[in-house]
Amino acid sequence: MNVNQQPHMASPYGQPQSGYQGYQQTGYGNQHVPGGYPTPYAPYNGPASTYQPGPPTIFIPSAPPTVSQASASAAYTPSAPSSFAPSSAVHSQPLPPDSVAQTAPQPFYGAPPTPPQPFPGAAPPFSAAGPAQPPAPPLGSQQSFSQAHPPSQPQFTSAPPPVSTASYGGPPPTTQASHPRAPPLTSQPSTFSGGPPPTSSPSQYPQPMPQQPPVSQPNPFHSGPPQPTTAAGFPPQGGPPLRVPHPGVQGPPMTSQGPPTSQTNHVAPPQPGMLPGPPPVNMAGPPAQPSMQGYPPQQNGAFGQVRGPQPGYVGQYPGQQSYVAQPPAQAPAPAPKRLDPDSIPSPIQVIEDDKLNKGNEPFVTGVRGQVPPLVTTKFQVKDQGNASPRFIRCTAYNMPCTSDMAKQSQVPLAAVIKPLATLPLDENGPYIVDHGESGPIRCNRCKAYMCPYMQFIEGGRRFQCGFCSCVTEVPPHYFQHLDHTGKRVDCYDRPELSMGSYEFLATVDYCKNNKIPQPPAFIFLIDVSYNAVKNGMVAIVCQELKTLLDYLPRENPNVASNIRVGFVTYNKVLHFYNVKASLAQPQMMVVSDVADMFVPLLDGFLVNVAESRVVIESLLDQIPDMFADTRETETVFGPVIQAGLEALKAADCAGKLFVFHSSLPIAEAPGKLKNREDKKLVGTDKEKSLFQAQVSFYSNLAKECVAQGCCVDLFLFPNQYVDVATLGVVPTSTGGSIYKYTYFQGQADQERFLNDLRKDVQKQMGFDAVMRVRTSTGIRPTDFFGSFYMSNTTDVELAGLDCDKTVTVEFKHDDKLSEETGALMQCAVLYTSCSGQRRLRVHNMAVNCCTQLADLYRNCETDTIINYFAKYAYRGVLNNPTKNVRDSLINQCAQILACYRKNCASPSSAGQLILPECMKLLPVYLNCVLKSDILHPGADISLDDRAYLRQLVSAMDVAESHAFFYPRLLPVHKLNVEGNALPVAVRDSEERLSKGGVYLLETGLNLFLWVGANAQQELLQNIFGAPAFSQIDPNMTSLPILDNPYSKRLREIIESFRAQRSRYMKLMVVKQEDKLELIFKHFLVEDKNNSGGASYVDFLCHMHKEIRQLLS
C-alpha cells in the first residue's frame, strides 16, 4: 500500500520487516540468535534505592602459579607427498537412492514469522522538536547536584579520611593474602584518597611485577605517612580458630580470621556477632548476609575511605588459615599501605547498580541526550524518536559545544553503530516506509532523509533541515497540515516523522547502474588439500551443507529463499561444479591455470537449491570420497576468492563467499604467501609489520570484491602459521567474518564450527551496502572503524553487512554546536536485502551539547569509550610500535581524568584520585585493553591469533567488547535453581575464587567452567555426575545431561550465554591447579598477568601518578 494515497489509514506502513524479526528464537541447529530475553520484564516499581550486594566472594589461598605452560598441541606437519593430481572428471558414483528423502524440507530456518506489527497510530506524545532535555537522570544512588557541583560529588560527610593500614608481615610464600571483605562501593563519585602519591615506586609500572603475591608489595598509594587511626577496625587476630559450618565443602578448615592487615579505616566498630568467618555456602542459593543493611555513605566518593564493615557483615573468608596477619601494633610507623581492591571501583557493582536503576523500566528514546542502560543490563527499548541503543551507542550523550572543550577533555566523541542489529522479540524492528516511485523525501542540500529532526514550516509546505538548516519544498504528494504546535497532523502515523529507526524502500535510482538488483548468491569454496581432508573438515562441511542449504536467509518464511548457491573445491587448482537441475550427476570442471582465474561455466554453477537438490546432494556426498586419498598439501587462496568474485560478476549479483581454508597458500599463484612468522619481532619497532598484509594483492582484490558486492567469510582450520593478517584482508574489507579453528579435530571441534557455520549462513544480512553518516552543522564524522572499505572520506562501503557487525564513527568539531539544538546524526545504510530488495535503513540520533565540562563527564558511557579506544589502538598497531600505542592510550585517559579533576571536581587533597562517576571504571577497563593479547602479548600467543583478534575486535559491538575485555565470572555454586536470576558475578581476580566453588567464565569467545579443588561433593555430582574432584574429566566439552534441577539450570545458563554472542563459545572445564588453569587465569584481568600486564590496583596507582603529573 502506498502511504501517500491513504495517509490517514490506521496502519499505513504495512508491517515491520518480518525479516528482521524472529531471529531470537531457536532455529535450525539450535541456533539461538543474539538478543534473546528469556524472562519478561518485571513491572517497574520505581528506582531501587539500595544496592544489594552479591554474595561475598570467597577467598582461597592460591596455589603457586603453575609453572608449566599450557601446551598447545605441537604443530602438525604433514609428511605426505604432494604428487596427487586431481581427477578432472567426476567420479560417477550412483546417486544414493534415499538422498532426496534424507533432507526434510524445512519451511523456515528461524522462528515463525513475527506477526505483523502495524505502526501504532496513537503513539505516546513525543515532541521531536521539544526543548533540550535535562541531562540523563542520575543513577538512583546519586544525589542531584547543581551545576556548581560536579555531578558526582556528593556532600562530604564527616567521616575521617582514610587511614593507613599497617604493613604486612608478608604472607607465606604460597598463599596470597586476601582482603577483608569490605562492602562494595556505592555508586558514589569516586575519590581515591590514598595519601600522597607514590614517589618511590614509579618504576613499578609498567615493568613486570616481581613474582610475589601482589599484596606483599608496598603499594605506592600507601607510601605516605599513615593517617590517624580513628577506628578500631577488626578485632585483632589471634583468637581461637573458629570453624564455620560449611556444609559439604571439603575445603581446608576455616579459621577465624580477621583481616590480614589492620585496616584501621573502618569507621564502624566491630559489631557484636560480626564473625570473621565465611558465611555458610549454600548450594541452593547465595549465602544469606545477615543484617546486611546497605552501605555507609561514601565520603566524597573517596576510595579507601570509611569502608566500615557492615553490621553483621562477615568479614573474612575461609581458606586463609596459613596467613598470619600482623596486629596493628606491629606496624612500623611509616607503614606502606596496601590499597584494598575492595576500596577501588568495582565493575561488578557498577553493573549491578545499573541493573537495579535502569533495568526495570523501558528505555524510551524520546528524550534527547539520555544515557542508555549499560550493555550488561537487560532492558526494553521504546523507539520514540532516537535510534535504540541496540543500533547506536555513543561515547558521550552530551557533547561539548566547542572543539576547544573537546580537546581539553580528550573524551573521544564517537558512535558505535550496528545498523542491522537483531532486536529482542518484544521490540519492533524498523518499519518499512514506501513512498512509491518518488522515493524518500530528502533535504535538497545535505541530502539527509526525512526524519523527526525536520521542522515543517509555512503551514507544512516546506521543511527546514535539522542538519544543515536548508529549507526544502514539501512535494505535493507528501503535504500535510500542521497542528497548533507546528507538528504535522500525521506525525505519529509516519515512522519517518516520529521514530528513530525505519526503512525506506529504495527506488531504482538507488540501485547500481539504475538496475533492480538480482537476488544475491552464496558460493561455498572448500579446501580439499591433505590437511583439510585429514582433520575432518571436508567431510563435516559437506555433510552439514546438505541440511543447511534449506535454511538460507529469506524474508518471507512462506517462500523459498531466493539465494542461489554454487560450489568450488580447491587445493592448488580449482574445481568448479555444474549442479544444474537437469543433470543426473554433478559435473566437475578443473581450472589449473590459476594465474588468470575465470569461471569455466556460467549455466549450472549458481543454482536454486530446491530445483537442484538432487544434484547438489550427490555432489556433497561425493566430494569427501573424491579427495579422501589426496596427497596434495599445497593450496592457493587468491584465485579462490577471484573465482567466487568472477562467478558473481558473471551472474551480475552480489553475494557471499564461504571459504573453508586450511593452510598458508604457498602454491604458485597470485596472492602466494611466504611463512614470515617471526616472534622475535614482537616488542620491537618492526612488530607492526606482523599486522600488515604481506602482499598488496589482497587489498586490490578486496577493492574489486567491494565493487561487486562480494562479501567473503573465511573459516580457517590451521595447524600452523597461515598469516591471518594477510588472509584476513579481503574478509575485513568486505564486511565479512573470520573464524579460526586452530588444530581442528573433527570430533572435538565440530560442535563449535557447525554452530558458527549455521549461524553465519542463516544470519540476516544486507548486500552491496553503503553507509553514510550525516551530522548537524558543527561536527562531522572524521574517522571510521570496522570491516569495510572506503574509497572516499564519507562513504562506508560494505560488500556485506550482517546483523552482528558494527561500524564505529568518530566525530570532530568543525564549528560550534548549540545547547539548544544539540547535535544530530543520521546514519543511512543502503543495501540489498536477501530477497533482492533495495532498501535504505535510517537511524537517527540526537545528543545534547554542553558548555560545562561537568555535563560531558556526567553523560559518558565508559563501555562505549573502551570499545572505541580498543578499535583505535588496534588499528594503531598497524603503523606504530605497540608500546607507543599503549603509552598514547594511557596518556589520553590520564588527560580525560585530569581534565575532570581540574575542572569539575571540588577542591580536595592532591593525594586523592577523583574519578567521574560515569568513568570510574575507565582505569580498570583501560588496563584490560592495554593487557590484551594485541597490545601486550604473552609468549604463548601466536601471531595469527593476535591478527585474528585484532580484526575481530574492529567490528565488535559494545556488549561483546565488554565481555571480551572484562569477562563475566559467575559463581555457579551460588546458583538458585528455583528462580531465573543469575548469581551476581564476581570480579575477575583469583582472590575472588573460592576453592569450594565452581565458576563460569565467559569472554564472548570462550567459556570456562572452573572447579575448585574443594568443591562440594554434591555439587560435583549434580554438575558432572562425578563423585569426586579427581574424577572430573577435564577434556569434556559439554556438560553431561543429568536429571537434576541444578544440572538443568546450569546448562540453560550456558546456552543462554551462547545465545547472546555471535560466535559459539566452546566450554572448557578447568580443574583447579590443572595445567589448563593458566589459560583460565589469563582472563582474570584484575590480576597481573604472566606477560607483565599490571594488576588493576597497580594500574590505578599508575594512572593516579600520570594524572598528578598532568595537574602539576
Residues contributing to the site for Zn ion (CB under 5 A): 443, 445-446, 448, 465, 467-468, 470
CB of 449 to Zn ion, least distance (A): 10
Closer Cβ to Zn ion, 607 or 845, answer by number: 845
Region of 931 on the Ramachandran plot (φ > 0 left; ψ -120 to 50 alpha; else beta): alpha
Closer Cβ to Zn ion, 546 or 772, answer by number: 772
- CA 1099, 1101, 1104, 1110 torsion-angle sign: negative
One DSSP character per residue, 389-440 reads: TTTEEESBSEEESSHHHHHHH----EEEE-TTPPPPTTSPPPEEE--GGG--
CB of 797 to Zn ion, least distance (A): 23
Closer Cβ to Zn ion, 646 or 795, answer by number: 795
- CA 12, 17, 21, 27 torsion-angle sign: positive
CA distance 504 to 556: 18
Closer Cβ to Zn ion, 445 or 481, answer by number: 445
Closer Cβ to Zn ion, 191 or 777, answer by number: 777
CA distance 966 to 948: 19
CB of 448 to Zn ion, least distance (A): 5
CB of 1078 to Zn ion, least distance (A): 57
CB of 469 to Zn ion, least distance (A): 7
Written as one letter, the residue type at 368 is R
Q: What is the 3-state secondary structure (H, E, C) of 843-857?
A: EEEEEEEECCHHHHH
CB of 360 to Zn ion, least distance (A): 39
Produce one character per residue of 406-425: b if its CB has 16 or more CB atoms within 10 Å, e if not: bebbebbbbbbbbbbbbbbb
CB of 465 to Zn ion, least distance (A): 3
CA distance 985 to 648: 48
The residue to which cell 593487557 is assigned: 931
Closer Cβ to Zn ion, 26 or 455, answer by number: 455
CB of 462 to Zn ion, least distance (A): 13
CA distance 697 to 757: 27
Closer Cβ to Zn ion, 231 or 465, answer by number: 465
User: By C-alpha distance, which of 549, 543, 700, 698 is closest to 636?
Assistant: 698
CB of 815 to Zn ion, least distance (A): 15
- 1008-175-330 Cα angle (round to 5): 140
- The neighbour count for residue 47, using CB atoms within 10 Å, is 15
Query: Which residues, including other chains, have CB under 8 Å from residue 461's CB and lie 6 or more apart?
Result: 473, 474, 479
Give the three-class secondary structure for 568.
strand
Closer Cβ to Zn ion, 193 or 472, answer by number: 472
CA distance 434 to 416: 28
* Beta strands at 823-832 and 392-394: parallel, antiparallel or unpaired: unpaired
Closer Cβ to Zn ion, 468 or 681, answer by number: 468
CB of 821 to Zn ion, least distance (A): 13
Closer Cβ to Zn ion, 216 or 464, answer by number: 464
CB of 446 to Zn ion, least distance (A): 3
Give, rounded to a whole angstrom, the gap between the first and last alpha carbons of the chain. Answer: 67
CB of 432 to Zn ion, least distance (A): 23
C-alpha cell at 239: 583468637
Query: How deeply is 810 buried, as exposed, middle or buried, from its count of CB atoms within 10 A (0-12, 13-18, 19+)?
Result: middle
Closer Cβ to Zn ion, 453 or 691, answer by number: 453
Q: What is the 3-state secondary structure (H, E, C) of 993-1025?
A: CCCCCEEEEECCCEEEEEECCCCCHHHHHHHHC
Query: Which residues, including other chains, have CB under 8 Å from residue 1064's CB and lie 6 or more apart?
Result: 751, 752, 755, 756, 759, 1058
Closer Cβ to Zn ion, 465 or 877, answer by number: 465
Closer Cβ to Zn ion, 842 or 915, answer by number: 842
CA distance 376 to 391: 15
Give the three-class secondary structure for 931.
helix
CB of 766 to Zn ion, least distance (A): 25
